[in-house]
Structure 1
Amino acid sequence: MVATAKRKILCSIIIALCLMKKKKKKRIWCKEWLTKRHVYGSHTTILRELQDGHEKDFRDYLRMSVSTFYTLLGKLESYIMKKDTHMRQSITTGGRLEATLRFLATGCTYSALQYSTRISKQSLSRIIPETCRAIYEVLKDDYLQTPTTPDEWMRVARGFETRWNFPNCIRAIDGKHILITPPQGSGSYYYNYKGTHSIVLMAITDANCEFLYVDIGCNGRVSDGGVWDNTHISSCIATETTGLPSDRKPKGSERRLPYVFVADNAFPLQRHIMKPFSHRTQSNRERIFSYRLSRARRTVENAFGILANRFRVFLSTIYLSPSKV
């Protein structure tokens, strides 16, 4: 009888506690203002207004012309299209591309971007990296080509000789630090000589400031020379598998000289890498040579400047993990 009485008391206490416990409020599926995306979203309002007689404003908004936007959208459609479900409509391919381009054009955070696109920051964190990967896949073969034959290399060399008065030059190389927020526990792994945290964008350009090779992702603590030594193209040059042309005599020279990449003092002096003389002990002839080399090398710095001014995400800190950056 005593055990039964105790059991009844305990059961009563448990029931009382259950009744006292507050019920959790059910979480909503989606915020109400986000559900009106298809009515008031920027892809259905401002984008349509801008493309109708406001070409310059459209270019300022997405950093490209109307025709370029829709050409790119056509190439991406099969890669980023999602299916509608009985629970909700999917975000359109145009809305996905627009959100991605606005992120690249402004460098704003996902939290800020969600208000203009009416796409939640959680969705943006999936849409933008996915769309960026798709852009790379559909464009890389047509717009990021590294020469592989002597004729292709010599065509680039003629551009540097004609435009920048530097013979036997086949590329300009340099690195740009892309600012990031370091992951927890990374210590000084991404800490660079400028006092910031970054990953390195190593690039090669031609005489027209066009990117023809990039290597991305090395931690900012490594110097430009160290980054270059670990690139694929550097190993190909060392093993002579890049198809570089044979040495030739530049105009006015009695010696056969190799074709070279021009770089700054952060890079090692090698057979196919040329850099300026030391500033401390330059003769007049050396000063002229350094000036000509720096003028040819400036093309890669100009390319970085053009890139960052068009897509201003590269002028600010990117608040994403290094792999997504």
Structure 2
Amino acid sequence: MQILIIGKTGQLGKSIQEVATNVLYSKHGFTFVGRDEIDFSNNVNISTYFECNSFDVIVNCAAYTQVDRAEEQQELANQINHLAVGQLADIAQQSNTKLIHISTDYVFDGNATNSYIELDVPNPINAYAKTKLLGEQAVQNAMSSNALIVRSSWIYSQYSNNFVDTMLRLAQGRDELKIVSDQISTPTYAADLAITILHIINSKDFIKDFTTTTYHYSNIGQCSWYEFVKAIFAICKIKLNIVPITTDEYPTPAKRPLYTVLSKSKIITTFRITIPSWQSSLKTCLKARGCGKKWIK
């Protein structure tokens, strides 16, 4: 199959590019594109690209992900996360192309006490999350079949510009960090998600037509940002005083849900996958980047 990965410069796009070199996927042809090739802020650009290129599968990793800035740039966030995604889904439907679209745990309001399943009703509480939900709905409206929406949470990688990277940079030259302790979810190692996406594409069920559906994917377990940071510093042997604080003590432009743990039962059962714990994958990630070294660019 000819597979297009949109978002080649992002964490997940880079991770898919690395995983795709495995011999398991040698039967496929991969094309990786970024904003230079497909600009989600420009509808004409999107249409023009697909007038000259065709694929069997599209994996959309591109998104506007700046949660706080989205409160001020709602029009741009809506264009990238909603309108462009709808246009992409229309193109996929018209060209008989399968689509995998990546979404977020933030579509939920965080008021649950148990992990969210795919059938739970979304209720986004910030502008970013609202645009991501609209993007999901645009896919569902355009494609009644052959589209998968994969929601994930707290994605990080060995590449730069993510939470793990930020914490390691902040640790330099400081004696103390204050970290929110009452927001609970699950960190997701981008490489694990990349492996799962390519496993799905390789599966027999994916070759056939299927009803458009939603899956949840993150690593196993749950933690707060505070617990996540403690684990990062413990693995990297960084001695720093980490002070737990509440969300109310760290106000941000965008409201955050307090609990967004995702149930993985559906994706595990459907595609017969094994998902590592978040602690195990964090160790793998930090080993890949080398604690104390500069981030891989």
Name the TM-score, length of structure 2 as normaliser. 0.29
Structure with the larger strand share: 2
Q: With a CA cutoff of 8 Å and minimum separation of 6, indicate the structure with the bigger relative contact order.
A: 2
Task: Return the index of the structure with the highest Cα Rg.
Answer: 1
Name the TM-score, length of structure 1 as normaliser. 0.27
